Chains A and B, each alone.
Chain A
Amino acid sequence: GAGVSQSPRYKVAKRGQDVALRCDPISGHVSLFWYQQALGQGPEFLTYFQNEAQLDKSGLPSDRFFAERPEGSVSTLKIQRTQQEDSAVYLCASSLGGRSSGNTIYFGEGSWLTVV
């Protein structure tokens, strides 16, 4: 596609519910990132994939968060047993080369998660 596509754009989950957020990166992009942006804050890194390999998950806040990119294109971020502090915008981003290449990182419009 022309840009990074994320779905759903908006999700309201009851506390304890599991959610899955999907990211469709720009075609051919090797790198895929997930970021979490809390209200009034800058985005914070969650995890990084190079093709299908998850090379860095140091930003995932707990073991309730899980991400995958099985075929090196579409990625899913799953949050189990959601809690109110998980309410945030989840941004997916992709770039042509590996991280540290200096390639432009393109962001999707985000998935807005509200846990009630």
Chain B
Amino acid sequence: AQSVTQLGSHVSVSEGALVLLRCNYSSSVPPYLFWYVQYPNQGLQLLLKYTTGATLVKGINGFEAEFKKSETSFHLTKPSAHMSDAAEYFCAVSSTLYGGSQGNLIFGKGTKLSVKP
């Protein structure tokens, strides 16, 4: 079975500071990994995803994440936080195996990012 753990339900940073949101996953097969962002009263928007190939993935709004198989991690970073980055961020995993329920996205509980002026 697959699972996702997001460390820290709330993270607060100052504007201009580094953003680091942690995600660890559990999967018995090579995973697909995703980060989604959710603004208040809105749906989920894909920030970036890892499927195969380069382990450092760049996404929208200056975010990036690195797939580290040895650490089973997929942490999300941004060098300089902006006020508009305040939102909830969800890490998700799915399976590369065709067929079966492992293809569904499994989400973490989310990390709420606050950005202080």
Number of interface residues of A (CB under 8 A): 27
| B101 and A58 form a contact (CB under 8 A) | yes
Instruction: Specify the chain B residue showing the minimal Cβ separation from A45.
Output: B104
Residue-wise interface mask of B (1-44) relative to A, using a CB-CB cutoff of 8 A (1 in contact, 0 not): 00010000000000000000000000000001010100001111
Q: Which residues of A lie under 8 Å from residue B97 when comparing CB positions? A: 100
Q: How far is the CA of A109 from the CA of B94 in the complex (A)?
A: 21
Interface of A is mostly: loop
- Considering the complex, give the chain B residue whose CB is closest to the CB of A92: B43
> CA A33 – CA B106 in complex, angstroms?
12
Whether the pair A104, B46 counts as a contact (CB closer than 8 A) is yes
| A42 near B43: Cβ-Cβ < 8 Å | no
Count: A-B pairs, CB below 8 Å: 71
Known pairs A56-B104, A98-B103, A100-B102; A43 contacts B44 (CB<8 A): yes
Q: Chain B at the A interface: mostly helix, strand, loop or mixed?
A: mixed
The CA-CA distance from A34 to B15 in the complex, in Å, is 36
- The answer on a CB contact under 8 Å between B43 and A108 is yes
> Is B96's CB within 8 Å of the partner chain A?
yes
Given contacts A43-B107, A58-B101, contact A91 B43 (CB under 8 A): yes
Pairwise interchain contact A107-B110, C-beta atoms closer than 8 A: no
Contact A56 B96 (CB under 8 A): no
CB contact between B110 and one of A4, A42, A100, A105 (< 8 Å): that residue: A42
**Measured CA separation A56–B51 after assembly (Å):** 23
**Contact (Cβ within 8 A) B103 A100:** yes
> A91 contacts B98, CB within 8 Å?
no
Report yes or no: A48 in contact with B104, Cβ–Cβ below 8 A: yes
Q: List 15 extra interface pairs beyond A42-B107, A107-B43, CB under 8 A.
A: A40-B109, A42-B4, A42-B92, A48-B101, A48-B103, A48-B104, A93-B105, A98-B98, A99-B104, A100-B95, A100-B103, A101-B98, A105-B34, A107-B44, A109-B42
